Structure 1
Amino acid sequence: MQEETRVEWRQWGQDAFDEARERSVPVLLSLSTTWCVDCHEMDATTYADPNIAANINDRYVPIRVDADREPRIRERYAAGGFPSTVFLTPDGEVISTATALAPDGMRQVLDRVGETYAEKGDDAGRVPRALAGDLPPAGEVGSAIEEQIAGQLGEKFDGRFAGWGQSAKFPLARTVEFALKRERDQALRTLDAVRDHLLDDVAGGFFRYAGRQDWGDVHHAKLLDTNATLLRAFAHAYVYTGEEAYREPAESTIEFLTDDLWSGVAVGGSVGPGEGAEYWRKNTEERANARQPRTDLTAYAGGNALAADALLTYYGYTDDERAREYGERVLDYLERDLIEHGSVVHFRERGQTGPRDVLSDLAAVVGAFTRAEQTIGYGADVAATVADHAIETLHEDGSFRDGPAEGVGLLDHPLRPLDGNAALANSLVDLATLTGEEEYHEIAHETVGAFAGASHRIGVQVAEYGTAASRLVHDPLTVAVADDPGSDLHRAALRVADHEKVVVPNADESVAPDLERGTARVVGVDAPAADPETLMERVAARNE
């Protein structure tokens, strides 16, 4: 994304930083997105001011980066929101950060940063602590991790309005999923609030977040990642409760993903906020006659993998053929266009190729193809190829880096994001169970252990770390089905009310020795089952 402004924006790359070094001036990095209202407002006001633009062009090297297209730059430099206005030394170290700046504020910051750099030079910069190279504190992978994060659910839960926290409310879909098994009432109340306040009742799909504790001040952008993760969370809630109140929002989100965000081959990245709240209050006919919101149809690897995972989860619970069809189409796109010998490209569009092997992309892709193996009977081989590549190239000193340690600025500094490590650890637990390859379980255990020394500081925002730890300490419920995907036994196994389970269709000797064709076994319970009713009895016996 790049608006027409008076600023002479450069692209992120060595040339821009070399220019800053040659001119002995700082870099002004603007991180923005297509769906960010304040980004467009800042372009229309601050960066359109001729005096400010001249000041920037003369005293800085300005770089514009789309934060969705460059997630590793975003993770290193974002200032907590968008736009992020970040001032750097020619080596990429951080001098100062801000978010949106009005013209007067920008004038003050430009003068202050310019004076600081003139006085201190490169010494004005710093490397953020997360990029300093220190390893996270390792520790034991035990039940205390899950217990601590489960305790945080109660401490942080908003008993009046639901959700976690006392200010802005984000949906936190992975936190909802963690709570579904541990504090179900909190999870369901939160999904109720998300449905009542963030769901677009006309076109389907969920808005990004609410700016107030009571879920008011809704920020109306609809992002793929938000919708994919909420689709899965609502589907899980449906399998626990059987209530249409959770199935219907999931169904309408599928319609949004496969209609409004469908690019023709995959799911696009976002729908912007449009004209604000007034637009979203309009009915279908009124919206058709209004100015349409900005839509980014770039098909990002991670977001599409999350969508495929969610679509196939919903299919497994409901037999919804639309969900299966589009889930498979997304998987086909990922395998055909974005996966190369296990390496994953962030996006391809009109001759542009995004960064390669972003950890969040790899984790989501492994998760999508392990979900496919469980629901439609294929995908484990692709998941294993991507997982093997991630382990070989990014797993170092016990945990995963966020991507290749290369690039200008601070991209060559290792970053080990907890959320990406937790997501991949969870997917590796699934993959180990599906393939019988113990190495995946060992890598998942090592990865969770790499952060365990600081687990007492981990909050509900990264509850998936607690899920991964729990599934390593207490092996997940596993149902081996010696029958074809789609059989009555297989479908019954998928609908067992435990969303952290693993279902292995066409199970072989590596998972369920001596299991006769047409039967299923709950791992840990000796007696097999030949029909859905008996299978449910075996699940109950295992849980006793």
Structure 2
Amino acid sequence: MDDDRDFRFSPRPNRAAEIRWRPWGEQAFEEARRLGRPVLLSLSAVWCHWCHVMDETSYSDPRVIAAVNQHFLPIRVDNDRHPDVNRRYNMGGWPTTAFLTASGDVLTGATYLPPEQMLESLARVKAFSDANRAQIVALQSERAAAGDGAARARLTAPMLGRETGLETIDGEHGAAGDIPVRVALQIVRAFDPLHGGLGVEPKFPQPDVIGFLLAYGSLRDEAGTPEGSGQSGSSVPASRALEVVRTTLSGMAGGDLYDAVEGGFFRYATRRDWTVPHYEKMLEDNARMASLYLEAAVLASDHDLGDAESYRRVAGGTIDYVLERLRQPGVPAFGGSQDADEHYYLLDAEGRSGLPAPFVDATVYVDWNALAARALLKGAYVLGRPELTGHALGLLGHLHATARHGEVMAHFVPPGGAPARGAPLLGDQAATATAFLDAYEATGDRVWLRRARTLADWACAHLCAPDGRLVDRLTTPGDSAGLLAQPVPALDENAAAAEVLLRIAAFTGDSRPREQALGILAA
């Protein structure tokens, strides 16, 4: 990761580059130890409005520039390119402004800090570090001596008994382990009955959450029990779950969150009624949203979900946006995001036609492109557009050919470059394997099944903790600075990996992937 010096600042005038930023890596932390300085960690994103504002204000203030360069070791990390760092250090949003010891432990932090508040924070952190230097040095020595052994020890608790694990996984109705019911209850309690979605404002689309309710409502009966199970008891009725889905899908598509001119969804809305959005568009979000509306279109005819044709129109418009705006010249892959440009997006089609489109980050993120391939494959079937299958297979073939290190997927490929160096991430292996399995289902070509199996086998061999869970990244000497030395078994990525293993077991008849999946779920 030390080679990632592609620091990306606001496209508007700023002086942020005058701060002597270092890339994340053990070399930077060693320099901080040698100089006896605390670390200033800036987590930013190329699409992030407030990251740009901080570049233009706080990081352009000559007093801030001087204080940071003189008294701190500044490290800048791109959130999209290094989600493992973001997972451990994010302070609640972007930009994240975190202050660390030279061992990578967090002293304090915040999100956006205007210039005066930034100056005050710099002074307070410096004073604290100076006053507690002996304790901080002792902590650094303790960390260096322990290595990552202490972190691994936290994952060595005995696995749950197989009986306990399987009882919980099966979701026996009325038992404490009926996880789907408990999750559905939490979602329904947060539902906004007036406009759909969860909570009040700001309001994010949360396609995975709504997708869960869609599956729940289609598989359970009016008592909230699995259809055909013969169980009884009170729960979240299927009709209630589907009401949440229907209201939310209609609200999002009918509000300003959906771009009625160019298609695609903005990242989130600042108002409860899905108006006044933040105008950045993310490949990840749009791939997930397209898949959600496609699934709703499929299920609408057999469930009370509303107009299937309207869902198809939204899904098709979202897929067309991805194909037309995010596809990269000369390669069958998609860029990661498109900048927020309020002036541009407030215009109608005629007004936009005379202006350049907002900047697209040409970085090819492997996990997000895998999500896009899945949406394309599903769209080919639901929308009756077979050409989308060709786009999806071309994309997956391109990822397999250009975004690997040996048998494992890299996280991203920079514009015109080679696959990024750095520790392999579980999220990329799980997302790509899932897309490969979708390609196998769509084509029957076993090459996709073999490729998925290779990624799943690698993850189980290299990322499995003693308790059966999979950690989020490969911890390797020289590439695990700060809290990266501490394995994190992310829940969503473990669930995705377990699904991959269960599908492989079903396709091959091999029981071992199923046992591995059950081990993950039981842990």
Deviations 1:278-318 (A, max 9, x none): 32121233224335422101111100111111111121323
| Cα distance in 2 for residues equivalent to 1:383 and 1:122 | 50
Picking from 410, 423, 432, the partner of 2:505 is: 432
Kindly indicate whether the alpha-carbon contact (under 8 Å) linking 1:404 and 1:412 is maintained by their aligned counterparts in 2.
Answer: no
Report the counterpart of residue 248 of structure 2 in structure 1.
190
Q: Cα deviations across residues 1-49 of structure 1 (Å, max 9, x unaligned)?
A: 4225231111112221111111101010111111001111111111111
Compute the displacement of 1:154 (Å): 2.0
Aligned counterpart, 1:218: 277
Contact 2:202 2:269 in 1 (8 A): yes
Hey, what's the Cα distance between the residues in 1 that align with 2:298 and 2:360? 32
Alignment of 1:474-493 (within 5 A): none
Please say which of residues 93-102 and 142-151 is displaced more in the overlay: 142-151
**2:469 maps to which residue?**
399
Match of 1:454 in 2: none
Residues 440, 115 of structure 1: alpha-carbon distance in 2 compared, 3 angstrom cutoff: same
SS at match of 2:358: coil
Choose the corresponding residue for 2:213, options 179, 182, 200: 179
Q: Is the 8 A contact 1:312 1:323 kept in 2?
A: yes
Distance 1:122 1:332, change over 3 A: farther
Question: Residue deviations 1:386-430, cap 9 Å, x none?
Answer: 111111111222111001123111111111111111122122222
Amino acid at match of 2:475: A
* Structure 1: distance between partners of 2:196 and 2:399: 36
Instruction: State yes or no: 1:415 paired with 2:488.
Output: yes
**Distance change in 2, residues 1:318/1:351 (3 Å):** closer
Q: Could you say which residue in structure 1 is the equivalent of 2:266?
A: 207
Structure 1 pair 218–237 and aligned structure 2 pair: CA distance change class (3 A): same
Q: Partner residue of 2:224? A: none
Matching residue within 5, 8, 33 for 1:2: 8
Q: In the comparison of the two structures, how many residue pairs are matched?
A: 446
- Contact 1:220–1:273, Cα closer than 8 Å, also in 2: yes
Distance, in Å, in 2 between the alignment partners of 1:187 and 1:230 is 13
CA distance in 1 between partners of 2:512 and 2:378 (Å): 26
Task: Give the whole-Å Cα distance in 2 for the aligned partners of 1:133 and 1:49.
Answer: 44
Q: How many angstroms apart in 1 are the aligned matches of 2:194 and 2:421?
A: 43
Q: Is the 8 A contact 2:432 2:452 kept in 1?
A: yes
Sequence identity percentage: 35
Moved more, 76-85 or 188-197: 188-197
The CA distance in 2 between the partners of 1:354 and 1:212, in whole Å, is 40
**Are 1:37 and 2:37 counterparts?**
no
| Conserved? CA contact 1:35–1:221, under 8 Å | yes
User: What residue identity is the alignment partner of 1:191?
Assistant: L
Which shifted more, 157-166 or 392-401?
Answer: 157-166
Q: Any idea what the Cα deviations from partners look like across 1:467-521, whole Å, max 9, x if unmatched? A: xxxxxxxxxxxxxxxxxxxxxxxxxxxxxxxxxxxxxxxxxxxxxxxxxxxxxxx
What displacement does 1:354 show?
A: 4.2
Q: Which residue of 2 aligns with 1:153?
A: 187
Equivalent position to 1:273, from 315, 340, 352: 340
Separation of aligned partners in 1, 2:340 and 2:151: 33
- Give the aligned residue type for 1:266: A
How far did residue 322 of structure 1 move?
Answer: 2.9
Q: Deviations over 1:260-295 (max 9, x none)?
A: 100132011000102x2x321212332243354221
Q: Flag the 1:133–1:113 CA change in 2: closer, same or farther, 3 A.
A: farther
| Structure 2 Cα separation of the partners of residues 359 and 313 of structure 1 | 24
How far did residue 120 of structure 1 move?
Answer: 1.6
Q: Per-residue CA shift, 1:223-260, capped at 9, x if unaligned? A: 01101111111110011125111001111111111111
State TM-score, norm by structure 1: 0.78
**Residue type of the partner of 1:64?**
R
Q: Deviation at 1:325? A: 1.8
Q: Read off the aligned partner of 2:183 and give its amino acid letter.
A: I
Structure 1 Cα separation of the partners of residues 134 and 262 of structure 2: 51
Q: Distance in 1 between matches of 2:386 and 2:198?
A: 35
Contact conserved, 1:7 with 1:47, CA < 8 A, in 2? yes
Q: How is 1:114-263 mapped onto 2 (pairs within 5 angstroms)?
A: 114-121=126-133, 123=135, 134-135=154-155, 140=165, 141-143=169-171, 144-181=178-215, 182=217, 183-197=241-255, 198-241=257-300, 243-263=308-328
The Cα of 1:119 is off from its aligned counterpart by: 1.4
CA distance, structure 1, for counterparts of residue 405 and residue 31 of structure 2: 34
Match of 2:236 in 1: none
Is the partner of 2:108 in helix, strand or coil? strand
What SS does structure 1 have at the residue aligned with 2:335? coil
Paired residues of 2:472 and 2:489 also in contact (CA < 8 A): yes
* Aligned-partner residue type, residue 461 of structure 2: E
Q: Deviations over 1:415-464 (max 9, x none)?
A: 111111112212222222122222222222111221xxxxxxxxxxxxxx
CA distance in 2 between counterparts of 1:133 and 1:291 reads 54
| Displacement after TM superposition at 1:122 (Å) | 7.1
* C-alpha deviation, 1:357, in angstroms: 2.1
Letter in 2 for 1:155: R
1:70/1:355 contact within 8 Å kept? no
Q: 1:333 aligns with which of 398, 404, 407?
A: 398
Encode CA deviations 1:96-154: one digit per residue, 9 max, x unaligned: 11101100110111011111111123746899xx9796349956323111221122232
- Mapped partners of 1:133, 1:102: distance in 2: 40
Task: Give the match for residue 103 of structure 1.
Answer: 115
Q: 2:22·2:28 contact (CA, 8 Å) conserved in 1?
A: yes
1:442-461, aligned counterparts within 5 Å? 442-450=515-523
- The secondary structure found in structure 1 opposite 2:311 is helix
CA contact (8 A) 1:163 1:169 kept: yes
Q: Is the 8 A contact 2:99 2:108 kept in 1?
A: yes
Q: Which position in structure 2 is the counterpart of 1:316?
A: 381
Which secondary structure state, in structure 1, belongs to the residue aligned with residue 251 of structure 2? helix
**Helix, strand or coil at the partner of 2:198:** coil
| Alignment partner, residue 390 of structure 1 | 459
Matches of 2:421 and 2:243, distance apart in 1: 41
- Structure 2 gaps of 5+ residues are 1-6, 10-14, 144-149, 172-177, 218-240, 302-307
- Deviation at residue 180 of structure 1 after TM alignment: 1.0
Change (3 A) 1:340 1:228: same
Which of 347-356 and 400-409 deviates more? 347-356
User: Given the superposition, is the C-alpha separation of residues 294 and 354 from structure 1 closer, same or farther in structure 2, using an over 3 Å criterion?
Assistant: farther
What is residue 305 of structure 1 aligned with on the other side?
370
Q: Which residue of 2 aligns with 1:495?
A: none
**Contact 1:210 1:216 survives alignment (8 Å):** yes
* One-letter amino acid of the counterpart of residue 263, structure 2: G
**C-alpha deviations, 1:71-100, integer Å up to 9, x for none?**
111111111111111111111111111101
Aligned to 2:432: 365
Gaps of 5+ in 1: 451-544
C-alpha separation in 2, matches of 1:427 and 1:437: 13
Structure 1: how far apart are the matches of 2:134 and 2:510? Answer: 49
